[in-house]
Structure 1
Amino acid sequence: MALVSATASPTSLHLSIASGAVGGAVTCSLPQLWRPLAAPLRAAKGANSTPVVLESKVKGKKKKGSGAGNLAGALDLEIKDAQEYLDSDEQEPAPENFPFEIIDEEGMSVVILKRGYKDEKIEVIVSMPNLEGPPEFDDEDGEGDGENAGKDDEDEEEDDESAGDSSISLKVVVSKDSGPKLEFTCTAFREEITIDDMLIVEKTEVEGEEKFPYEGPEFTELPPNVQKGLFKFLEQRGVTLSATNYMHDYMVTKQTQEYIRWMRKLKDFVKQ
């Protein structure tokens, strides 16, 4: 999803230049010249990044049930558990001033967000949440059996911790009627959005013609004030924490819906 790297904190900006071209590592700190953005965004792979703890609506727990050893029975059990989870899932309403139209097609692994902004067209492709493995749903009886009960509790704690790394990937495309377009690759966590990459995509005059354009430096190699300006650029176009947090929960629900559809297709096939 560098010779020069930059990180930003609420109090200073740090610019590091790798040794080699200038004979040694140089680090400079700038005083507090700006306030943090309302929606915290940062360059990906920052040296001072800290783990982000998230809450996922999907909880991991290994199930035991009557479907063991019987494919049709196992599929029925899995579909039942997933449907019960989905029925109990309360989808939060879209945040105030959510600017995007949501295009959600059944059977697809992404959702597309669209909006206009001045003379620009904004399109955001939102991927499924980055969870460890397929969705797993709570075992209703909640009972452990003897010596395995403690181990089940430990497994559940580990699954909850791994859920804290949940995120969604975004591809943000900003285009106009003519000229190039900007493409951002982002990762949205609960507490921050990172920009992993940015490209200027030129329109090709001849389809199929192979070219090798200069793609620019790595995002983290850009000057700190340029990075900050691009963060603000995305925020003004609707890529904010409130929007991405809503889409995170939306995509968790969609993942469950698509999982159920996929399981039903498999069930129909094996029963034919």
Structure 2
Amino acid sequence: MAFVSATAASTSLLLPAPSAVSGVAGVSASMHRRLRLAPLHAVKGSSSAPVVMESKVKNKKKGSGAGNLPGALDVEIREAQEYLDSDEQEPVPDNFPFEILDEEGTSVVILKRDYKDEKIEVIVSIPNLEGGPEFDDEDGEGDGENAGKDDEEAEDDESAGDSSVSLKVVVSKDSGPKLEFTCTAFREEITIDDMLIVEKTDAEGEEKFPYEGPEFTELPVNVQKGLFKFLEQRGITLSATNYMHNYMVTKQAQEYIRWMMKLKDFVRQ
């Protein structure tokens, strides 16, 4: 089996795609280490970029509440709620191994499970969407310019499959170090961007500068493949990450509505 090097500056190993239920994802602050599982999409930079929930209020006709902030917020909340009502949440997949901890008002969801003598914790962030979801202005009147953009908008809808979720996976035992992976999960592939061994330290001990190991792509190929299999066995699969992608899109809409309602309550006081 041949493995292809992408560039000298940033090596990306192309490995055979896993089964339909395998995968992983994340981000590194100092270096971009990644293991590509299938050459289906290019890795899209840092998934920590803010997701833009583009307002459709600017497309409203002047005179229908222009300059009226509470009215504009009402419009945005209504359209977001209509979007949410039309969004069918997928059922939890069979064999989904994690407990989902979802707190209102937060931008992440925490997954937890036990695996043999290990504890697995996964922090899943709001999806990094291509431009962010928009809430359709169903009663808006189309004009020549907008009509000419129909094909472009259709392509944008299709590109939603390129969106991703950032994962931080922590594998720990009762004693000893922890393994921390930062990963990015796309619809059809999962990348390992970084892996660290985190030693337990004394709270009052002197500052230390531990050796963090080589870049992920500098590890032997069999070690990289083994680490991906390691995560897959602990529940980080495409089946699980695709479900969490859809879950987080819905959460994003819910949190957006809550945020808008808080803003509306404040400006009306």
Gaps of 5+ in 1: 1-10, 20-28, 53-57
Which of 258, 262, 265 does residue 255 from structure 2 map onto? 258
Q: 1:257 to 1:51 in 2, by over 3 A?
A: same
Instruction: Write the distance in 2 (CA, Å) between the matches of 1:71 and 1:35.
Output: 53
Asked if 1:224 is matched to 2:205, the reply is no
- TM-score w.r.t. length of structure 2: 0.80
Residues 189-204 of structure 1: matches in 2 within 5 Å?
A: 189-204=186-201
Deviation at 1:140, TM superposition (A): 1.6
Contact residue 122 and residue 175 of structure 1 kept, 8 A: yes
Contact residue 34 and residue 191 of structure 2 kept, 8 A: yes
My pick for the range that moved more, 70-79 or 129-138, is 129-138
Instruction: Write the distance in 1 (CA, Å) between the matches of 2:35 and 2:178.
Output: 24
Q: Secondary structure at the match of 2:123?
A: strand
Aligned residue pairs total: 243
Asked if 1:87 is matched to 2:68, the reply is no
Instruction: Provide the residue aligned with 1:100 in structure 2.
Output: 98
Compare relative contact order (CA 8 Å, sep 6+) and give the higher one, 1 or 2.
Answer: 2
Deviation at 1:88, TM superposition (A): 1.4
Deviations 1:217-255 (A, max 9, x none): 111111110000001000000000000000000000000
Residues 155-174 of structure 1: matches in 2 within 5 Å?
A: 156-157=153-154, 159-160=156-157, 162-174=159-171
Instruction: Write the distance in 1 (CA, Å) between the matches of 2:231 and 2:65.
Output: 48
> 2:41 corresponds to which letter in structure 1?
P
Instruction: Write the distance in 1 (CA, Å) between the matches of 2:90 and 2:200.
Output: 39
Instruction: Write the distance in 1 (CA, Å) between the matches of 2:39 and 2:223.
Output: 19
Contact residue 53 and residue 132 of structure 2 kept, 8 A: no
Which of 119, 125, 128 does residue 126 from structure 2 map onto? 128
Contact residue 40 and residue 189 of structure 2 kept, 8 A: no
Instruction: Write the distance in 2 (CA, Å) between the matches of 1:153 and 1:59.
Output: 20
Contact residue 15 and residue 224 of structure 1 kept, 8 A: no
Q: Secondary structure at the match of 1:199?
A: strand
**Percent identity of equivalent pairs:** 74
Gaps of 5+ in 2: 25-32, 43-51
State the Cα RMSD in Å: 3.0
Rg comparison, structure with higher value: 1
Residues 46-85 of structure 1: matches in 2 within 5 Å?
A: 49-51=39-41, 62=56, 64-65=59-60, 66-85=64-83
> 1:144 corresponds to which letter in structure 2?
G
Instruction: Write the distance in 2 (CA, Å) between the matches of 1:170 and 1:181.
Output: 16
- TM-score w.r.t. length of structure 1: 0.79
Q: 1:161 to 1:15 in 2, by over 3 A?
A: closer
Deviation at 1:269, TM superposition (A): 0.9
Deviation at 1:136, TM superposition (A): 1.6
